[in-house]
Structures are given as structure tokens and as C-alpha cells.
């Protein structure tokens, strides 16, 4: 036998052996890694996984963990208990939409559930010593289990935003200047836990604090009249600030001595967007000019103008889209160069200021530019308030009461969200998961299109098909968290 034939015979034997299923080597087991789930927050709910492994993990379960094959894509679903809201994911997922985790190592995801926050004003006592107290409350989505989170010693308003873990509520609080007077001290950022314990984040004695919000990384953004160098003075203008929840690291993101930052702002993961009448050039920053929209890095740095209007006009606060790529705002501008006169519409631009264009093209509308607009969490629609008639299908005439409307981001089509003709609705905000819309109205509590006895918070499904009162006040007023109540009396 030659050497070549020996090799051929050996190769044939090996091939025959490899084709024999009895001689095949079974693959080893796939590597697995644990996925851990923790449920937090002042509310209730649970998390389930697909494929199976995490089954109804709730806060009372502690940390739930299950092994999954390496490379598997595990989808987590958050299921709020009746009356509660899903507040969002942290850890391996973010936001409040679907959570999909690709298993490559041990991973941890946290989900939080919360009740609905709102503000109510109540009269404490009677006669000359009567006290008007603003308190932050919470309730289930049907209005039951309503309870105040803040005490009568503080007058609280200006927020009501849950932290991402659902364990702390951010708002403004001011101490009473006397036990019997109706005055209040300087408002400060305050964090309140579900058990009613309030802790100040800022401790200004002179400087005022206005709008506030959580940043995506868990810091707090706010507008204050404090001096940009940190001095506790009630300065002539306001600036945008950032601070850690424990009060440390307070830093001014803007340094304006002339026209300051307007109260309302919004933020993406990397930048804050604000409205100001500062000059367009850096050397003109303390000179009055037309209102424009600016952005500044959350890590600090120079502000850049996104719009470059040179003539004064009505301009609403900027609202960044959920994915951080677009900025929406109301503006009283001509729709194009051929337009004879300006009109109030919602405008869109990219987050870098490019591709400025009108979203809506209404000529007769009476949009309320002082009330903030609100993106739906999926980025498909924008809610706004307007005095336009809700029952007129095309470019409606002005009505004496305000309604909520929805603008389709893809087409610009406008549809009414509320349909009130004798009493209004305004100051909407949307739950983080997009399931509920809350707003305030002076409407009749039984649903009739007539005026009621007081402002109340109302709740609607995401499409505006069913509207029910969350609060049922007949004397005192309650407000959605989008409404800033004046507590500096």
C-alpha cells in the first residue's frame, strides 16, 4: 500500500466515524448569567419576563433573580397595580417603554411604580388668621386613597416630580413666616418621601427658586435668582442651575447678569434647553434682545443659540422630544415668507437648531404660549392648550375657554383632546408610561359641560376618550403638577 492510499483510507475512516451519530460529541451547555429585578417606589406593581424566569416580581418579593442563556434577549414588562403608574426603568434599561436586555453578563434592572402627584390649596382656620396652605398630595388614578405628603408647616408647590426610583418627590416648599399669618418664606427645593419626611435640597434665605426637574442622571435642574457665583442674594435676573439631591455640587449652568433664563426649561440626556432674551453674541449676553431658545451642556460650558430671531415676539418654552433629537415650542411667527401676518403655532427643529419648520399651520388659533406643551412619551404627539373652538374641524375660531389639543408629529394634524365650550382645560402632563393624561379644569364634577365650583385635577386615557375627575373639591382648588401655584404671598 502506498503512502497516498494509506492517507486516503484513514480519511475515509474518519469521515465514516464523524457521520455516525453514535460517535458525535454533544455540545456543552450554554453559559448562563443571572438577571436581577428590583421593584421600588411609593406605588405597587410587578415585573414579568419573556422568556419565563421572572414571574410577578413585586416590591414585597425583594430582589428577584433568574438565570438566562448567554445571548438571549429577555423582554421585561412592567404591570402597575390598579390605580398606580409605572414610573420607569433604571439600571439595565431606562425610560418607561419596553425593556429588552441582551444577556452577556450578570445584569440588574429596577422598576418603580408611583401614585399620582398633584397640588391642592386649602384654607386652614377662619377669620383674619385664616391660612391659605398649598400642599402636595398623591392619589390613585381613580381619586381614591388621596393623602397629603407635605405638612401644614410648609406651603408647597412648584413641582411634584417623582425621582426615577419613585422614592422621593421633588417640589418647592416655603416655611410659614408665622403661625397665624398668610405669608410664606423663601421657597426652596425640597425632597419628600412617601412617609411625609421633607428635606431641603437648597437652603436659600434671599434667593428665589422657580421651575425644577430631575435630569436623566438623577441630578436636579432648577431656575433661581441666586448670583451665578453662588451668593445667596435675590439677583436681578435668573439663571439655570444643577445640584445633587443631597444639596452638594450646586453649579450655575448659565452666567447671566442682564436678561436671564425664563422659568420654564427642558433637558435631554446631555443638554438643557431654555428661553432667554440675552443677546445672540457672547459679548452681548447681558444685553436685552429678542427672545430665543438656547442650549447648554449639563456638564457645563458655553450656551449656544438654537434660534436667531432678531425681532421681539411671543415665544413659548422649549420642550425636547423623548429621544432628545427634536425641540418643540410655540411661536407667534409667519408660517412662511409669503404669509401676510404671523400666527401662533407649534414649531419643531432638530436639537442642534437645524431644520426649523412649523408643525401646525393654523391661522386663527389662540394657543396659550404661557402653558407648557407636552410630548407623549412615544414621541408621536404633542399636547397643547388653546382657546380655539374644539368642535370646529379646520383652523377653528377663538373660543373664550381653553381646551387641550393634540398635534400629530408626523403630519401636523390637530385634533381636540377635550371638548369643552363653557369651561376650560389646561396645564396637561402625561404619566411617564403614557397611559394617562392629567390636567386641571373648572368643569362640573358630574361631567356636564358647565362650570363647576372649584379647580380640580382630571384624568383621561391617552386618547382622550374617557375623562374623570381625580379630585372632587367644591371649595378649595387643586392643580396638576404642570401648574405653578404662587406660594410667595
What are the strands, taking DSSP E only, across 44-181?
45-50, 57-58, 64-69, 73-80, 85-91, 99-102, 107-114, 116-124, 131-139, 147-148, 154-162, 169-175
Label residue 398 by pLDDT band (50, 70, 90): confident
Residues 189-212: what's their mean pLDDT? 91
Calpha distance 371→483 (Å, rounded): 8
Calpha distance 161→164 (Å, rounded): 9
Q: Tell me whether residue 262 is exposed, middle or buried, using C-beta atoms within 10 angstroms of its C-beta: 0 to 12, 13 to 18, 19 or more.
A: buried
Length of the chain: 489
Q: Tell me whether residue 153 is exposed, middle or buried, using C-beta atoms within 10 angstroms of its C-beta: 0 to 12, 13 to 18, 19 or more.
A: exposed
CB distance 186 to 177 below 8 Å: no
Q: Check residue 125 and give its pLDDT.
A: 62
User: 235-239, 284-288, 352-356: lowest mean pLDDT where?
Assistant: 284-288
The model's pLDDT over 213-272, given as tens digits with 9 standing for 90+, comes to: 999 889 999 999 999 988 998 877 899 999 999 999 999 999 998 888 987 899 999 999
The model's pLDDT over 29-56, given as tens digits with 9 standing for 90+, comes to: 789 999 999 999 999 999 999 999 999 9
Calpha distance 284→305 (Å, rounded): 12
What's the chain's average pLDDT? Answer: 85
Q: Check residue 133 and give its pLDDT.
A: 72
Residues 74-92: what's their mean pLDDT? 96
The model's pLDDT over 432-442, given as tens digits with 9 standing for 90+, comes to: 999 999 999 98
- pLDDT higher than 80, residue 19: no
Going by C-beta distance under 8 Å and a sequence separation of 6 or more, which residues neighbour residue 326? Answer: 320, 348, 349, 350, 351
Calpha distance 246→201 (Å, rounded): 6
For the beta carbon of residue 124, count every other beta carbon within 10 angstroms.
12
% pLDDT > 70, the chain: 85
Domain 34-114: give its CATH architecture: Sandwich (2.60)
Residues 373-400: what's their mean pLDDT? 84
- pLDDT higher than 50, residue 367: yes
Going by C-beta distance under 8 Å and a sequence separation of 6 or more, which residues neighbour residue 27? Answer: none
Calpha distance 474→477 (Å, rounded): 8
Domain boundaries, the chain: 34-114
Amino acid at each position: 500500500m502506498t503512502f497516498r492510499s494509506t492517507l486516503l483510507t484513514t480519511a475515509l475512516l474518519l469521515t465514516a466515524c464523524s457521520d455516525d451519530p453514535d460517535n458525535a460529541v454533544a455540545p456543552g451547555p450554554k453559559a448562563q448569567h443571572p438577571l436581577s429585578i428590583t421593584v421600588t417606589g411609593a406605588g405597587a406593581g410587578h415585573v414579568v419576563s419573556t422568556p419565563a424566569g421572572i414571574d410577578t416580581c413585586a416590591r414585597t418579593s425583594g430582589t428577584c433573580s433568574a438565570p438566562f442563556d448567554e445571548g438571549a434577549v429577555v423582554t421585561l414588562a412592567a404591570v402597575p397595580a390598579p390605580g398606580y403608574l409605572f414610573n420607569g426603568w433604571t439600571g439595565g434599561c431606562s425610560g418607561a417603554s419596553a425593556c429588552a436586555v441582551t444577556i452577556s453578563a450578570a445584569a440588574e434592572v429596577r422598576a418603580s411604580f408611583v401614585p399620582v402627584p398633584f397640588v391642592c390649596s386649602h384654607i386652614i382656620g377662619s377669620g383674619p388668621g385664616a391660612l391659605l396652605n398649598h400642599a402636595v398630595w398623591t392619589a390613585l388614578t381613580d381619586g381614591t386613597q388621596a393623602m397629603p405628603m407635605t405638612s401644614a408647616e410648609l406651603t408647597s408647590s412648584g413641582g411634584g416630580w417623582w425621582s426615577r426610583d419613585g422614592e422621593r418627590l421633588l417640589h418647592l416648599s416655603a416655611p410659614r413666616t408665622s403661625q397665624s399669618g398668610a405669608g410664606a418664606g423663601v421657597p426652596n427645593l425640597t425632597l419628600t418621601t412617601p412617609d411625609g419626611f421633607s428635606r431641603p435640597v437648597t437652603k436659600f434665605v434671599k434667593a428665589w427658586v422657580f421651575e425644577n426637574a430631575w435630569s436623566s442622571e438623577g441630578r436636579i435642574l432648577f431656575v433661581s435668582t441666586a448670583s451665578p457665583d453662588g451668593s445667596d442674594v435675590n439677583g436681578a435676573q435668573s439663571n439655570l442651575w444643577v445640584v445633587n439631591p443631597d444639596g452638594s455640587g450646586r453649579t450655575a449652568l448659565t452666567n447671566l447678569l442682564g436678561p436671564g433664563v425664563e422659568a420654564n426649561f427642558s433637558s435631554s440626556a446631555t443638554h438643557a434647553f431654555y428661553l432667554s432674551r440675552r443677546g445672540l453674541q457672547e459679548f452681548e449676553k447681558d444685553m436685552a434682545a429678542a427672545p430665543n431658545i438656547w442650549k447648554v451642556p449639563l456638564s457645563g460650558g458655553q450656551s449656544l443659540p438654537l434660534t436667531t430671531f432678531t425681532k421681539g415676539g411671543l415665544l413659548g418654552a422649549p420642550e425636547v422630544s423623548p429621544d432628545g433629537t427634536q425641540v418643540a415650542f410655540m411661536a407667534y411667527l409667519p408660517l412662511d415668507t409669503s404669509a401676510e401676518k404671523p400666527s401662533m403655532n407649534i414649531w419643531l427643529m432638530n436639537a442642534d437648531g437645524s431644520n426649523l419648520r412649523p408643525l401646525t399651520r393654523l391661522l386663527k388659533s389662540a394657543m396659550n404660549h404661557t402653558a407648557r406643551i407636552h410630548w407623549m412619551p412615544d414621541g408621536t404627539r404633542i399636547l397643547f392648550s388653546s382657546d380655539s373652538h374644539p368642535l370646529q374641524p379646520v383652523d377653528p375660531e377663538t373660543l373664550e375657554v381653553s381646551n387641550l389639543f393634540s398635534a400629530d408629529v408626523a403630519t401636523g394634524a390637530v385634533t381636540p383632546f377635550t371638548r369643552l365650550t363653557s369651561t376650560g382645560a389646561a396645564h396637561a402632563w402625561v404619566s411617564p408610561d403614557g397611559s394617562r393624561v392629567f390636567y386641571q379644569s373648572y368643569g362640573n364634577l358630574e361631567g356636564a359641560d358647565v362650570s363647576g365650583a372649584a379647580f380640580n385635577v382630571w384624568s383621561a386615557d391617552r386618547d382622550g376618550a374617557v375623562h374623570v375627575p381625580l379630585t372632587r373639591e367644591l371649595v378649595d382648588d387643586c392643580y396638576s403638577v404642570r401648574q405653578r401655584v404662587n406660594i410667595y404671598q
